[in-house]
């Protein structure tokens, strides 16, 4: 009898820890979504207030991604997946602080192709990438208001040791996030389509 009470007690403690951990993760994801929403609003206001001119081909030919600084973030534009109701700001470069509030450019740009964007697998970030279907539309709106549209052509799952495969292949845009266990990356491959 004493042993069963101890097991129930320890089981209850473990359940409480798991619920606390889950609650914390949900809180972090909520905070990230709120911060992303503020950045989206600020970027839209910046687009309205400034008469931003698109850069010349020379400005983007070396892999640079034009950006506007808002607060401590260099924002390059927004990424949206209408079928999943996803819209996120995209920072010009990636880092762990930027990933807490936005999607981030991993490498490449819209002009040169092989543009790769990553984001956390938070609920309102890239968690639903695994549900996006071939043929779905993905849009990137740069800081100048130029819209680039893509069609999803493939989805793959790579082990975290296979990240070099992200940059190989003939893709105009790739989006990726980690799986819940952190061992794999869900990758969407997209081709540019004319507007």
Tokens encoding 108? 């490449």
- Averaged pLDDT for residues 42-70: 62
- 141: number of Cβ within 10 Å: 20
| Residue that wins the pLDDT comparison between 167 and 141 | 141
Query: Which pLDDT score is estimated for 53?
Result: 53
- Does residue 39 form part of some domain? no
- Write out the residue range of the structural domain in which residue 103 sits: 46-193
Rounded Cα distance between 4 and 120, Å, is 41
pLDDT, one tens digit per residue, over 3-28 is 777 777 777 777 776 667 666 666 66
Q: CA-CA-CA-CA torsion for 101, 62, 176, 181, nearest 10 degrees?
A: -80
- Does residue 174 form part of some domain? yes
Q: How many domains does the chain have?
A: 1
- Does residue 40 form part of some domain? no
- Averaged pLDDT for residues 47-71: 60
Residue whose C-alpha is closest to residue 150's, from 187, 101, 113, 105: 113
- Does residue 146 form part of some domain? yes
Task: Report how far Cα 45 is from the mean position of its chain's Cα atoms.
Answer: 21
Q: Are strands 68-70 and 184-193 parallel, antiparallel or unpaired?
A: unpaired
pLDDT, one tens digit per residue, over 83-136 is 999 999 999 988 888 888 899 999 988 888 789 999 988 888 888 889 999 999
Residue 53, judged by CB atoms within 10 A of its CB (0-12, 13-18, 19+), counts as exposed
- Does residue 115 form part of some domain? yes
Write down the pTM of the prediction: 0.78
The CATH number of residue 106's host domain is 2.40.260.10
Give yes or no for residue 56 having a pLDDT over 60: no
């Amino acid at each position: 009898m004493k042993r069963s009470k101890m097991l129930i007690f320890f089981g209850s403690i473990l359940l409480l820890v798991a619920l606390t951990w889950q609650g914390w993760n949900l809180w972090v994801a909520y905070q990230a979504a709120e911060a992303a929403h503020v950045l989206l609003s600020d970027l839209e206001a910046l687009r309205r207030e400034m008469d931003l001119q698109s850069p010349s081909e020379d400005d983007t030919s070396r892999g640079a991604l034009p950006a506007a600084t808002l607060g401590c973030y260099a924002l390059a534009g927004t990424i949206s997946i209408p079928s999943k109701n996803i819209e996120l700001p995209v920072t010009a470069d990636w880092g762990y602080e930027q990933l807490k509030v936005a999607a981030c450019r991993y490498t490449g740009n819209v002009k040169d192709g092989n543009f790769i964007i990553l984001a956390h697998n938070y609920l309102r970030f890239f968690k639903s990438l695994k549900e996006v279907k071939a043929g779905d539309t993905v849009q990137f709106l740069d800081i100048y208001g130029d819209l680039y549209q893509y069609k999803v052509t493939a989805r793959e799952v790579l082990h975290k040791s296979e990240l070099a495969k992200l940059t190989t292949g003939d893709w105009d845009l790739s989006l990726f996030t980690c799986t819940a266990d952190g061992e794999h990356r869900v990758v969407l491959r997209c081709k540019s389509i004319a507007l």
